[in-house]
Structure 1
Amino acid sequence: MYANFKKKFKDDIIRGKMWKAARSTTVDDFQICMAEIKKLNEKACKWLNEISPNQWSKSYFSVYPKCDMTLNNMCEIVNGDREVLEARSSPIYSLLEMLCIKIMN
């Protein structure tokens, strides 16, 4: 998106404002940035409004998780398993073999 914006609008100030809008973390800040862009260049504002802000601005990104796993750290998942905890005292080869089987299942 930025590459296309950069080709169409050569002004560094406009590009800086676009980045400010993209990095804004609240909707109010985003709206302020877009108003500044509109003051500087109406066409740039229109071009940006054609693309949904939830695709390019942090202020519109979803705060909800994208997967249903409650743990996304592999170490936490492995350490929470009773069989793995019991196998930790085994020799390294036996432990790795057990982990390999556990992961494949």
Structure 2
Amino acid sequence: MKHKHKELQHTEEHSCCSCEETGTEQTNVYFCPMKCEGKKVYTASGNCPVCHMHLVPVGSVPHKHTHHKHKEHNKQYSGGRYYCPMRCEGNKSYDEPGNCPVCG
């Protein structure tokens, strides 16, 4: 069974973040949590026409703005040795930087 959804164009009035900007929660506006179609929104609940996941109301999912830092790698451990992060050749290492001879 296919559902027909009335689509809304994203504008200043209908953006995924406008509920935070205005302080009011939008009702009857839904989006796909997988963002298959970018910022496309719908006026009826149902399933996404692309991935078939349940559409969720705008404003029901908090926006995540997470920032993380990578751990500082111990540069002394590498000893100026380079390796392919894909480990195409196992633990083989090289003295000079460059491309992996297997995967590029």
Q: What TM-score comes out, normalization by structure 1 length?
A: 0.31
Decide which structure has greater helix share: 1
Q: Rg larger in 1 or in 2? A: 1
Decide which structure has greater strand share: 2
Q: Which structure ranks higher in relative contact order (CA pairs < 8 Å, sequence separation ≥ 6)?
A: 2
